[in-house]
Structure 1
Amino acid sequence: MRITVKDVMDPRAASVHADTSFKDVAEVLVARETGAVAVVDDERRVMGVVSEADLMRKEEFREQYHGESYRPPLRTRLRRRVAGQPGDPREKAAAGTAAALMTAPAVTVPPHASTVAAARIMDEAGIRQLVVVDGEGRLAGVVTRRDLLKVFLRDDEGAGAEAGRRDSRDSRDGVVVEVRNGIVTLSDPGALTR
């Protein structure tokens, strides 16, 4: 069974323009109760993403601007290096606009991608949500880890019926469809005797 990103995404993705101020980006994140916001151009093409973590740099380095020296703990510096986060985080701390705050290019996924592919991309990139873009690179929505969990919420009967329909289209005779706790198992008992 192939469930796509379009089946579970939120088409009302939060976005800002490159010249949006730091404070306004923070207001959008809080008001929309989201962890990241897409930065788009006038044609709604995605330029990058600003996450809560990008905004937190200002708080993290606030003491530095008040004359106190601050250096992130070794564990934090190593995590950033292993995650491949380039540049000096102090640059983001000093940023005043979405363009200066954003991570670019954005990690994106098309609406027709499977939820399995989306989950793998999130895991590999170490992110909690993906920006969904159409074929032109325009913002189409957002899919979060929580959205991907929706695939497990279908009842067993519905999942089994869907698997059975797909199986009959594949014209496999003798395939047994079993569903338990939302997990579909297809088996062919006759395959071992052929």
Structure 2
Amino acid sequence: MHGTPHIVSDVMTHTVTAVGRRATFKEIVRMMQDWKVSALPVLEGEGRVVGLVSEADLLPKEEFRDSDPNRYTQLRRLSDLAKAGGLTAEELMTAPALTTRPDATLAEAARTMARARVKRLPVVNELGMLEGIVSRSDLLKVFLRDDEDLAEEVRREVVSSLFPPPGSSVVVQVHEGVVKLVGRVRDTSLIPVVARLVRAVEGVVDVDFELEGREGSQSPSAPTGPTTKGVRDPAPDAR
């Protein structure tokens, strides 16, 4: 396989607005409004990321502005109540900041976001210096790849390696990111492997099969994945 997965530096935003520890509440709100962002990295020194301040960190000030929370709320939401009284980025930020590296794969960044339930990650180098920021929408950019681009990669990186002619004859079709492999193959036992490899291609939404085994093919294994369909055994007279 010669293809390489996309990495964070391919899709991240390189120009990032950030604040220092001493930035005031109103300065933070103003910068978010001016730059139309929902979070800002907090930096110290020459650009080392020490935290992230988001709209969620700012909202407790409004939520608790005219309320007197009961004891249960106080115990359950100690962090939010502390942020309601925060005046600077240092008091408001979530720290330490959850970050990612420029050379991390999109899958790695997506897993980090999902596990931490965050919408964005500052991108830092090996010294912790800010290089950019990557959001959920950035990670979804790979699904904008052209269907023909996907088809070409699947042909080149998967089909040509595992289903080469003349033993196999496979046509790759792609529509709206869904890859469909149609034709006849010598070794149907490779279909589950092909399914995994095709799904690993950046931008593929799903994979489907309409494949038949040639004479002398091995017994097919059940393809993996929730929606892999259309794998057919060879007709009895073709065995």
TM-score (norm 2): 0.66
Contact 2:24–2:88 (8 Å) recurs in 1: yes
Question: Which structure 1 residue ranges, 5 or more long, are not aligned?
Answer: 81-86
| Seq. identity, % | 39
Output the amino acid matched with 1:12.
Answer: T
Partner of 1:189: 185
Q: Structure 2 CA distance, aligned partners of 1:72 and 1:28?
A: 35
Structure 1 residue 166: Cα displacement? 3.7
Q: Structure 2 CA distance, aligned partners of 1:146 and 1:118?
A: 12
Question: Which structure 2 residue ranges, 5 or more long, are not aligned?
Answer: 189-216, 219-239
Q: Structure 2 CA distance, aligned partners of 1:72 and 1:156?
A: 57
Of the three residues 100, 103, 117, the one matched with 2:108 is 117
- Is 1:100 matched with 2:100? no
Structure 1 residue 158: Cα displacement? 1.3
Contact 2:163–2:186 (8 Å) recurs in 1: no
Partner of 1:3: 6
Output the amino acid matched with 1:136.
Answer: L
| CA displacement, residues 111-144 of structure 1 (integer Å, 9 cap, x when unaligned) | 1111111111111111111111111111111111
Q: Structure 2 CA distance, aligned partners of 1:185 and 1:110?
A: 34
Cα distance change, pair 135–164 in 1 and its aligned pair in 2 (3 A): farther
RMSD: 2.8
Larger relative contact order, structure 1 or 2 (CA cutoff 8 Å, min sep 6): 1
Greater shift, 12-21 or 47-56, is seen at 12-21
Output the amino acid matched with 2:12.
Answer: M
Cα distance change, pair 139–190 in 1 and its aligned pair in 2 (3 A): farther
Output the amino acid matched with 1:190.
Answer: R
Query: Which one has a larger percent helix, Structure 1 or Structure 2?
Result: 1
Count of aligned residue pairs for this structure pair: 180
Contact 2:163–2:185 (8 Å) recurs in 1: no
- Is 1:138 matched with 2:133? no
Greater shift, 171-180 or 132-141, is seen at 171-180
Structure 1 residue 159: Cα displacement? 1.9
Contact 2:50–2:96 (8 Å) recurs in 1: yes
Q: Structure 1 CA distance, aligned partners of 2:16 and 2:94?
A: 17
Q: Which has the larger radius of gyration?
A: 2
